[in-house]
Amino acid sequence: MGILNLTPDSFSDGGTLGTPDLAMKRAESMISDGADIIDLGGESTRPGAEKIPLEEEWRRVEEVLTKILKLEIPVSIDTMKPEIMIRAAEMGVDIINDVSGFRSKEALGFVKAMKKTRIGFCIMHMQGDPQTMQDSPRYGDVVSEVEFFLQGKMNEFRKYGISDDRILIDPGFGFGKTSQHNLSLLKEISRLSKSCPVLVGLSRKRIISELSKRKSEPSDRLGGSLATAIWSAMQGASVLRVHDVKETKEMITVYKALGGDDIFSGKGNEKRS
């Protein structure tokens, strides 16, 4: 899954795609590099990010979304706003990716209304909200609590008639988690993936700098991002949400060519169960 941020303030590439033409060139480049899905977002959810009005978020994404939907690739919209979800679904988007985990009554109403469609959903766990989530994250058992939340949401979706093959779950690395919380979740991807396909989004995040034991800017975290990507895939992750599509795709291709586990098929995970 290639990341396409149409925001001026995202933690890694904010402001770099300031026009629809630049955004489309980036999308086409990721597709050429082997992206299987494009994930489009118009509101930053980095720690401390300010909320923006609905119409501003829609202004940022509408034209680019219209153009990308004409390309032969599944498109995901990254939004927490039910009204944006509705508009994107009406345009023909394939996946709704909600970092707030469809917690609002309105978001769940949208899910219920999508029963007879084939639209997919990515449910992410986040403690708090982007404005405060990293102030003081606390858990008794982070893996159990994240698993409990995601399982509960999956059960809600089933109640609304959404089949399991339309659901992805995301542990929410860096969203209301300390480095230790992130590490604990990383080590239990295989556990989480037993109930539902897992999406992992660790590309260029702060944990890369911390694990590598060197200070680095987000754009200078490729090596560590690739390491967490291959680790996640080997543990059973089904989707990797990344900035660097070409490098990630090449890494996986070479890994398989060398006789590595058949990742993304479930077989690698079965060997570890």
Residue positions annotated with a catalytic role: 205, 241
What's the rounded Cα separation, in Å, for the pair 114 and 117?
A: 5
- Could you tell me the CA-to-CA distances from 70 to 74, 91, 92, 107 in Å, in that order? 10, 11, 10, 26
In the structure encoding, which two tokens stand for residue 201, read together? 């989004």
Half-sphere exposure of 35 (CA within 13 A, CB side): 26
Distance of CA 24 to the CA centre of its chain: 20
Tokens 């604990």, residue? Answer: 184
Distance CA 244, CA 3 (A): 9
Any bridge partners for residue 76, and if so which?
39, 95
Question: Cα separation of 145 and 36, whole Å?
Answer: 30
Q: How far apart are CA 134 and CA 180, in angstroms?
A: 13
Distance CA 269, CA 273 (A): 6
State the Cα–Cα distance between residues 88 and 90, nearest whole angstrom: 5
Rounded to 10°, the helix 222-234/179-186 angle is: 40
